[in-house]
Structure 1
């Protein structure tokens, strides 16, 4: 069964943590934007990861190096988990979880839905969209909203599943996609419509800002969601960990309270037990 993800109030140094996150995200974003404008030659070599369709580029890796350099300078005692690099241990008890380029396939195809996600786990985080210049940030004080470029944001708060614009994503493995297909097919007649953006971090930021009503995805990694779940929780949305099944890995769901339980029941495999996606690595 799913369980709600409980996120505590921002720490006393949330503003400082967000400052570091923003500087790191903007440094990576500037590099990615320059390469994006330069096309394939600037993006550099592209490699396969988990499957032949799961790709990483030299731009991804360069962006992560830029993030890690700022974290090493400003937060040298903190641990770091990044999508493209080795985990770095720390002594402070805090861990940064970073996705230097969420939406790599979009980026490589010249599509605009890609971003940078930088979070101090469970405490503070930002999602930065270099093309639009939008920076989504978690609150700095308890009870405050998440923001986009400093302006408060909030989820739309629909009260009926049939009125919801739903975001989702799919894995790279063929068997996982085959298991995901009947779930979204069953939901499609029951919701306003479905969007597949191709960036989990943007899906979450857009839920937090009311551009989507709800979102779910199986197979997300900690770096996909570490900043986004903080944004959603601060924007009045429920955040649920989704249990997987025999084929499906664990996942995440965010939705307004009025429809969260119904949506969980429709997407989660029966007789499943939810692992903790916050600390256990599990699509772009």
Structure 2
């Protein structure tokens, strides 16, 4: 199984890096071809579509017959032995559209619904975050470790907001209550990279509602393998939010989030 995870991780990193190169090299033209999805503030660019096509083509070559779930084209394939690749071709499309250099390509592989390997690559910098189950997490080959903070009031949190105004309003009300209980809050616009920030200790925790599997499949494993405590949306612990935090503050931070109304945001 370890050998298989190594092979799967190698493919995830390779394919994500190739897609990231395409995303960055074509950005100027890609952002001129923009459509919308769930709302007028939820864009999809030619870069998103091209990157997902590339990932699907490369996976068909390298891992033929395995299922793929992608943000832009949905599910494809039956998934032999419960294997499914989960792809976000550009996580942080609004940032990509505006030229704000905080977006990523996320490629994960799941076995019976649980992530066993994943990679998150930043096109603008080329940085590669990756992890395999039970083998730790790295950034450009350097091992990652979540922060050692143990005081919730000094914890720096990352979060995100939804595309629809009604949800953003509820999220803003929740964050307003939270701000007095922690050091501060950061909102960057890429869930995958927010989870990687927890893994690196750049923030002490992260919470967000309304995410899809492709948003967190790779990043959640990277955070967990770096020692963070992670709760996935389907756990039901925080009203459908994803949560990742340094182990020294995770339990207390969960209590604070509940007291601030995290379970009521949806």
TM-score relative to the length of structure 2: 0.90
CA shift at 1:236, angstroms? 0.9
Secondary structure of the structure 1 residue equivalent to 2:162: coil
1:257 matched to 2:247? The reply is: yes
For residues 239 and 42 of structure 1, the distance between their equivalents in structure 2, rounded to whole angstroms, comes to 34
Higher relative contact order (CA 8 A, sep 6+): 1
Alignment of 1:129 with 2:122, yes or no, is yes
State whether structure 2 residue 170 is matched by structure 1 residue 179. yes
Query: How many Å apart are 1:243 and its aligned residue?
Result: 7.1
The answer to whether residue 52 in structure 2 is matched with residue 61 in structure 1 is no
Once the two structures are TM-superposed, the CA of residue 145 in structure 1 deviates from its matched residue by: 2.3
Equivalent residue, structure 2, for 1:83? 71
Given that residues 116 and 127 in structure 1 are in contact (C-alpha distance below 8 angstroms), is that contact kept between their aligned partners in structure 2? yes
Q: Does 1:120 align with 2:104?
A: no
1:33 corresponding residue in structure 2: 24
TM-score of the superposition, structure 1-length normalised? 0.85
| 1:82-231 to 2 correspondences below 5 Å | 82-89=70-77, 90-121=79-110, 122-139=115-132, 142=134, 144-231=135-222
- Pair 1:180–1:70, CA change in 2 (3 A): same
Comparing 102-111 with 170-179, greater Cα deviation is found at 170-179
User: Is the CA contact 1:44–1:59 (under 8 Å) kept in the aligned structure 2?
Assistant: no
Q: Partner of 1:219: helix, strand, or coil?
A: coil
CA offsets, 1:3-31, max 9 Å, x none? xxxxxxx7431111011111211111111
Q: Which has the higher helix share?
A: 2
Figure out how many residues of one structure are paired with residues of the other and give that number.
Answer: 258
Find the partner of 1:71 among 36, 47, 59: 59
Structure 2 gap ranges (5+):
none
Contact residue 166 and residue 195 of structure 1 kept, 8 A: yes
Provide the C-alpha distance between the structure 1 equivalents of 2:152 and 2:81, rounded to a whole number of angstroms. Answer: 43
- For the structure 1 residues 242 and 12, does the alpha-carbon distance in structure 2 shift closer, same or farther, using more than 3 Å as the test? same
